[in-house]
Amino acid sequence: VERFTKEKWQDSHVPGVVTGLAWTAVGGEILYVESSLSKGIGKLTLTGNLGDVMKESAVLALEYIKSNCKEFGINEKVFDQKNIHVHVPEGAIPKDGPSAGITMATALMSAFTGRKVKKRIAMTGEITLRGKVLPVGGIKEKILAAKRAGIKEIILSNSNLKDVAEIKDMYIEGLEFHYVNTIKETLDHVLV
């Protein structure tokens, strides 16, 4: 019963923070996935009132990065020497589903490499262990929420192209779409 306001996109100026698009009972929403590292032993901590499936997305994103660390220039020792925390703010709202996978992978990669994320960019997509980006639902509502928040560019799975094609032009004016097949393409485009 606590009230929340629809928020505008906020620049966080630090690595590890990525904007996602979620589909909740009250319509589309932007959400931030925050990740940070601290001295530790490789433990992953998840907060933000996340459901089982969303928690699995974070585990999956971390495993993808671990298995492919050489390709991304990350020293695999870091996985033993840092604890990793992933938080999705607005803890009063339960959050679930697989569509934050791409956002979590990007947030973790940003934290591990220290590279920031481009501004006013948001994304939604399920990921797989082999690094594919799968289509997700609620595309129209998510795009409306992104526009309302001041987002300029949106990353989607190639397989969601047909969902964007069905949306009236007036709703997507001023938005640029970037379609990807893999996590790798996403990171190449998004990390500064």
* Least distance between its own copies and beta carbon 83 (Å): 8
Per DSSP, what are the bridge partners of residue 178? 155
| Active-site annotation holds for 142 | yes
- Distance CA(109)–CA(62), nearest Å, equals 9
Which residue of 9, 18, 20, 32 would you call a contact of its own copies, by CB under 8 A? 32
| Active-site annotation holds for 99 | yes
* Least distance between its own copies and beta carbon 191 (Å): 17
- Joined tokens for residue 114: 């220290």
- Joined tokens for residue 78: 């870091």
Q: How many CB atoms lie within 10 A of CB 43?
A: 10
Please say whether the beta carbons of 137 and 23 come within 8 A: yes
* Least distance between Ca ion and beta carbon 93 (Å): 8
When CB distances are held under 5 to 8 angstroms depending on the partner's kind, the choice from Ca ion, its own copies, none that residue 173 binds is none
Q: Is 2 in the site for Ca ion (CB under 5 A)?
A: no
Q: What is the DSSP string of 61-87?
A: HHHHHHHTTGGGT--TTHHHHEEEEEE
Which residue of 11, 25, 39, 52 would you call a contact of Ca ion, by CB under 5 A? 52
Sign of CA dihedral 133, 134, 136, 140: positive
Which residue of 97, 125, 186, 191 would you call a contact of its own copies, by CB under 8 A? 97
**How many residues are recorded in the chain?**
192
Please say whether the beta carbons of 51 and 95 come within 8 A: yes
When CB distances are held under 5 to 8 angstroms depending on the partner's kind, the choice from its own copies, Ca ion, none that residue 142 binds is none
Q: Which residues bind its own copies (CB under 8 A)?
A: 1-5, 7, 10, 12, 14, 16-17, 23, 32, 34-39, 45, 47-49, 52-53, 56-57, 59-60, 63-64, 66-67, 69, 76, 79, 83, 85-87, 89-92, 97-99, 101, 126, 128-130, 132, 134-138, 159
Q: Which residues are catalytic?
A: 99, 142
